[in-house]
Structures are given as structure tokens and as C-alpha cells.
Amino acid sequence: MSTYIPPIRDMRFVLNELAGFQSIAQLPGYEESTPDLVEAIMDEAGKFAAEVLAPLNMQGDLQGCQCKDGVVTTADGFRDAYQLFVETGWNALPCDVAYGGQGQPTVLTAAVHEMWKSANLAFMLCPMLTLGAIEALRHHASEEIKNIYLPNMVEGKWTGTMNLTEPQAGSDLSQIRSKAVPQADGTYLITGTKIFITWGEHDMAENIVHLVLARLPDAPAGVKGISLFVVPKFLVNSDGSLGARNDLICASIEHKMGIHGSATAVMAYGEKVGATGYLVGEANKGLGYMFTMMNHARLNVGLEGVALAERAYQHALAYARERVQSVPAGDKSGVAKTIIHHADVRRMLMDMKSRTEAMRALLYWTAAQMDHANNNPDAAIRQSAQATVDFMIPVVKGWCTESSIEIASIGIQIHGGVGFIEETGASQYLRDARITTIYEGTTGIQGNDLIGRKLAKEKIGAGATAKALQQQIRVCVEELSKDKNLSIIAQQLGVALSDMETATEWMLENYDSNPQAAHAGAVSYLLLTGIVTGGWQMARAAQIAQRQIDAGSQDTFLQAKLATARYFAAHQLPKTMGYCSAITEGSDAVLSLDESLF
């Protein structure tokens, strides 16, 4: 069985040196996030990940969830682990203190959640969906609904789901057909079928609070006619106790490629008279309400990419240290060595390590911008931070998840033939990672969002945030170039930045006049941006490490950080040239073939 060691040393470096946690802890509402408290949270979260969640990961994969007559049973150990999760207060970590939460910063929560997702992604999907539902209700529900549902959801006694898509709808939510019929008592009767509902039914909590998109009888067509409803598994009595079972059922669960420990349900509402639901906010504004938590949801999915990449790396590294095979090139001893001594295995491990560290740094930095956008007392800083978050979220979600698939695949390659055998465990990370590029919006959807609403159609001015970000990176390049130890990184980052600037200008010039060509390059632009901004964070890390080394530090961690930053600069940053060319010169090739010739 694979073990998991939380990379707390790197996490703390990123939190403190790159994400600027000291400034986050000074924001209103975060004053209690002292260094001692943060250290205790990280250490205890790491223990929970390594000792409770990680040992269940393979069990969940092998056993999966079972559905019989609408009742879903989780894999052995999951229910007990969830009860311990709730009892120790972990679910409340990022939640509003008004409803029993601990109110910790987004960036700290990201670090904690990364450990839990690395340890057991299938398990952590349940709290993740609950937190998303909490955010939607906190922002848009009536005080009555908040007071009934949020305290138990924050505690984790009740879990939450998001019910968006339907068999005929896919990502096009304008095609939703589920109905909500108003009743004399102010409730609604919900009927319809929802698919791909993560943790839509299970045995870990006493109640499940479903957030369901549906249409009122007089709703306008399209996305403007969608309303949001709270539809609990068990109705709640006036005293807060659980009442009758609502008219909803899990019709089946999906047999999936990965995340077997998580139940992905087909939910049927109103098989008898209709499921009782409660309107959230105003009618016909449900889709906008659901998108309130989309930045957090997409950040969390990007975090899944980081987490799975880290777990795949650790798994491959452990194997490379113990597998003896062949004499390394140039070794005159004639003695076979462990494969970590072979140059190509070293290349693959460096690729996994450097990319994972870049992803972590970029995601934590983006999460820190969220905290500034939400809590900074300076309105101008809040506005600037929010614009940065909006621009970076599709990049973090798309680049980190796409990278995680490649990294998990490299992990299998390091294992050789046994990596293709399920017993080694290496393949689980690739299977689990594959869904991350799809849910919460495919990479194509993220790319389209990035070049459209976040770049060409940005409200504060087309390309304003991208250009401001590029200027920050340019300043970093200039600073690095002054240090002879870092000048090569500066040179490589500068070339990649020029590619990003060229691609950005091309997108701005062509988005309106040739939208098909622009969208043909959307994913390439997303990946290019991920590499450049991830490389920027690695360059910053190298600069900080070099300063500490110059000051006399002999910390081997800093030496390793320099090495991974140099590897990323040499092996990842040059990829921007290909992406830039694909964007500026490759759209004709994408669109040239007549549909009949495919």
C-alpha cells in the first residue's frame, strides 16, 4: 500500500514566502491566524491525512460504493473516517463564524485541503461539495433557510450537493427541464432527473441537502429561467429535528473510471407527488447564485490536480528508490543500481517534482488573492485582487488538472510494466485525475472563459489584468537578471513572457473579428499562461532561496528549490514557443477540414 507524507516544508515555504501569509493574517477577520495556530493546523491536518485518510484510499478504489434500492453504502472505513472528520471540527475550518465555522483564510484552507485530497480524493469530494453548497446558501438564501441548514452543514452533520446537469443538458444548462411547481404554503414540488451528482447519496451523514436547479411554470426559456431550490433528503421539523423522507431517491450510481470511493449518483426527484423544495433568493436567478461559489469550486478542482500530482510523485519516487535494475550509463562498477540513478528516471522525477511545485505555488498565490479580494480594507486592492482571481481561476483549474494527468502518467512510466498493474497503485492516480479536467467545466470551457470574459471582454478594459500581470513578471525578470546565479532563469522566463505577450495581443486583435480562430487557440492560451505564471512563481522561489543561501543558510531544502526552479525554466518554459505558434499561426489548420472529411 502506498504511504503519503504531507509535503509540509514546501507548503510552508509557499504560504510564507510566495503567498504572503503574514499579510493575509493581518486582514480583518483573520487576526487569529497566528503562526502558532497555523503550524498546529498544518501538523494536525497532515496527521489526519497520513493516518486516517491515506490508508483508506486504495480500499475505496477497490471496493467502491454499492447501491441497492436507493441506498448507497460506502467503502469500509469511510463512514468512521467521516465521523472523526466531523468530531474533530475539520469541516468548519473555512466557514463563517456566524454559523459555527472557524473562519480561516482561503489560502490556509487550500494547503490543508491539498493534503486531504492527496491522501484520499474520493473522500474529500464530499466535504468539498458541502462547502460549495454552504457558500451558495450563505450568499443568497433567506435568513430562515440559513438558520435551518447552515449550522449543521458547517459542522458536517449534514452534507451538501449541487444538482445542475441532466441527461439531455450536459454543460448546456439552458436545456434543463426539471420543474418546480409552487404550493400554497410557499414551498415547491420538484420533479426531474439529475445526473453526475457527486455524493448525491451515501451513509456517512444523517441528512443530505441538495441544491437543485429547476424551472418554474412561467419561467422564461434559456438560462434566464432557472431557479435554485434547497431540497433536503429528510425534511426538517420546526424544532430542527429530522422529519419525513422527501420524495427523492438515488436511482443508480455510475460505474466510473476512477474516484470509485465517491458515489456519483443519478437523482430522481418527485417519483410520487414531488420533492418538497424551498426557493433560494429570487426566482429565475438560480444559475447566477450557483456561480457564486464557482471560483472556489474551480480553485478546489485545480487543487485536486496539485494533490494527485504530489501523490503520484511520491509513489513513483518511493519505487525509484527501491527498484534495482541495470548499471547506470558511465558507471564503471558493473553493479546494478536502483533506478533513481538512471538519467531518464531522474528526468521524469524532476519533471514531476518541478511541475507539482509550480502548480502548488501558483494555486496558493491565487488563493491568497482571493483573501485580499474578500477581506482587504483597501477598496482598490480588493478590486485589483478580484480581477486577478477572475483571470487566474480558469488557468489554475485547467493547467493544474491537465498537468496532473501528464504527471500521473509519468509516474506509471517510472514503474515500467508493473505500473500498468493495479496492485502497485500507480494507476489509481491517473484514473482519479482524468475526471478533474472535465467537471466544474472542461478545459475547453475554461479556455473559452479565459480568452472571452477574462481577457477580451474584461469589464475594466480588454486585457487590463493580463497586461498588469505581465508587467509584474517583467519586473521579476529584470530583478533576476541582476544575479549571475539566476540570470539563466531570467533569460528563459523573459522569452516565455514574450510569447505570452504576443499571444495576448493576438487574442485581443482577433477575438471580435475572427472568434472561431480565437477559440481554436483558447486552450493553448490557457496552458501557455499556466506555464508562464507557474514559471514566474518558481523564479520567485529561486530568488528567495538564493537570498537565504547568500545570507549563509545551508538548508538543503533551499538547494533543492533552486534545482527544481532551474529544471522548470529549462524544460517547461520553452514549451510556450509551441503554444504561441499554435495560437497565432495554427487556427487555420484547426478549422480547415470540412466536417464531412472527419
**Active-site residue list:** 440
Partners of residue 192 on adjacent β-strands: 269
Max alpha carbon distance in the chain (Å)?
87
List C-alpha distances in Å: 299 to 288, 395, 555. Answer: 18, 10, 31
Contact 35, 27 (CB under 8 A): no
* H/E segment holding residue 384: helix 379-415
**Whole-number Å distance between alpha carbons of 2 and 475:** 43
Is residue 385 packed enough to be buried (19+ CB in 10 Å), middle (13-18) or exposed (0-12)?
buried
Per DSSP (E only), the strands in 31-114 are 66-68, 71-73
Burial 345-360 (b: 16+ CB within 10 A, else e): beebbbbbbbbbbbbb
**Whole-number Å distance between alpha carbons of 74 and 252:** 14
Three-state DSSP class for residue 523: helix
Q: Which residue has the cell 528516471?
A: 345
Contact 354, 542 (CB under 8 A): no
For the chain, the residue count is 598
Beta strands 158-163 and 207-214 are parallel
Is residue 489 packed enough to be buried (19+ CB in 10 Å), middle (13-18) or exposed (0-12)?
buried
- The angle subtended at Cα 179 by Cα 294 and Cα 207, nearest 5°, is 60
